[in-house]
Copies of this chain bind each other. A is one copy, B any other.
Amino acid sequence: MGTTQLETVPEPKYRHLKTVISEALDSEFAVGEILPNERDLAARFGVARATLRQALEQLELEGRLQRRRGVGTTVAPPRMGVSVGSTAHNWPGVSDTAWELADGTREVPPASVVRHLGTGQDEPVHVVRRLRVSGGQPVAAELLYVPAASVPGLAAADAPTGTARGAAVLRELESLGLEGEDRAVELGSARSDDAKQLDRLPGAPVLVVTTRFFAGGGTAAVSVATYRADTCRLTFGDTGDVEVHS
């Protein structure tokens, strides 16, 4: 038959598109540059818009593109390296400049957190909300769960509102002797409220970092931080040199 057909099965169109666009991004586009709109691109490549979108979605997942409704598709800068957890164990401090205190309330935590804390099924705990900003844009939203038993200095009576309450909880925590911590990372999708804070659509991929803080022979607090997966590379530096390189 004379064909020089490759041995591979035909590659799906969207995956081929992804390769082609990816190479074009490397060679013909600068960071921040706007791509043609999806209808034009689809026409240019001779595919349906849905097929083109499948390719763009994966490129966005890989942090190569950024798409914004009403605006367009732009070439994303390389991911930021954000430092998660240093060698030295320490409490999420009030003085921590990376995080911006957003709120402090008292709520019943989700079941997965209750399991770690070992608190009662419907027992409310202190919840501190914080936002991490880096390079001028929000990169992570955190919920810190602190059982009342961990911060005995805080009576139910003194209940300042919002950030004041959150600050009080953080201060109390710092006076505890931290015995160790424990961290896990997994893929998730942004809940509606997180999405709003992170300036993404609900369901956007996030890296969920769950940290358990041990003190007094038990779990004194649990932090659940959701990082934007498109813009962040989480670094666990043992060497101490924090690089927020390009």
Contact = CB atoms under 8 A, between A and B. Distances in A.
Interface of A: 15, 18, 50, 58, 61-63, 79, 81, 85, 89, 180-189, 202-203, 205, 207, 214, 229-230, 232-239
B184 A234 contact: yes
Contacts of A189: 58, 61-62
Contact of A185 (B18, B233, B238, B239): B233
A16 B73 CA distance: 27
Contact of A236 (B180, B184, B205): B184
B238 A180 contact: yes
Given A15-B203, A58-B203, A202-B15, A186 B63 contact: yes
Contacts of A183: 235-238
A202 B189 CA distance: 20
A183 to B, nearest CB: 4
Most chain B beta-carbon neighbours within 10 Å: one of A18, A63, A182: A182
Contact of A205 (B61, B89, B185, B239): B61
A61 B233 contact: no
A61 B181 CA distance: 27
Nearest to A55: B203
Contacts of A229: 186-187
B61 A186 contact: no
A242 to B, nearest CB: 11
Contacts of A235: 182-184
A115 to B, nearest CB: 10
Given A79-B186, A185-B234, A185-B236, 7 more contacts: A15-B202, A85-B236, A180-B238, A182-B239, A183-B235, A185-B185, A187-B229
Contacts of A202: 15
A46 to B, nearest CB: 21
A192 B59 CA distance: 15
Contact of A81 (B180, B181, B184, B203): B184
Contact of A238 (B18, B182, B187, B205): B182
B185 A187 contact: no
Nearest to A89: B238
Contacts of A81: 184
A95 B116 CA distance: 33
